[in-house]
Structure 1
Amino acid sequence: MNQETSLVATLPSTPRGARAARALTVAQLAERKLPFEDAAQVVAELAANAVTHGRVRGRDFRLVLHLAQGPTLRIEVSDTRREFEPAAACGAPDPEAESGRGLVLVSALASRWGTDLGPTPLKTVWAEMDLASPISSDRGFHDPVDQYPVPHDA
């Protein structure tokens, strides 16, 4: 697979750093005239997790974007909290929870995702997206009104 690294950025483990990761992704993909909305959302979720769960005072997180033929985008977000490895399976979040939906969203938008553990304490959460065949705009969600037949006498 012919792959090009289009971005490597080290960012502060702060909300501002997470926003910068999203903005850098949008800029890189827009410059190449590639669809960026879903990729920006995936980066936002992975960066937010790195900032929230992977933060170690004084240590940054890293964002890497790889583009391959197709085009396929591989997003990698690395932090230094190896002990906070994301769950491999994304189940339905607790409806009462105020958080916990980020990896469900990543799973829905990406073709595949996972975690690689590097030298201690490095952890990289990655996601791959096929930019040539975007998911339908309705993402599988339908208006619940559509399930009821329209009365013929209306």
Structure 2
Amino acid sequence: MPIHVRHYEPSDRDDVISLWDDVFPDSTGHNDPAASIQRKYDADDGLFFVAELDATVIGTVVAGYDGHRGWIYSLAVTPTQQRRGIGSTLIRHAEQALSNLDCPKINLQVRSQNDAVVAFYGSLGYDTEQRISMGKRLASHAKSGETSDAPESR
């Protein structure tokens, strides 16, 4: 049965949290899945998608657009379904949604040591750009013991 990509719905919440916990086991506290999901859903920008197989959520992509650049914030595919084209399908879906918004360019971030993910995005036409990514954790979202390092990509 083919996969189906659709918009995230609140009923997907627990499945998405479970997926993200599996795919991003070393995620830090500032990437709390429940809070991230709720904030993205509240943004109501139509750029949060899930991939389903047999009515089971097996992947997600979270994108954004600020009128200047599009962003791929997070791509996740359940480990047992990786390397089957699902990630590529989700990225193409997000790219089309951003293109429909007249977005001229998409950016994304990958941890520098994650060579496999860099290669994956390279295979989809993304190039490494000579930039330094900087971030600042806002006090209202910092948790005790966290540093103000730039946020990791999910």
Q: Tell me the TM-score normalised to structure 1 length.
A: 0.30
From the CA coordinates, give the structure whose radius of gyration is larger: 1
Q: Tell me the TM-score normalised to structure 2 length.
A: 0.30
- More helix per residue: 2
- More strand per residue: 1
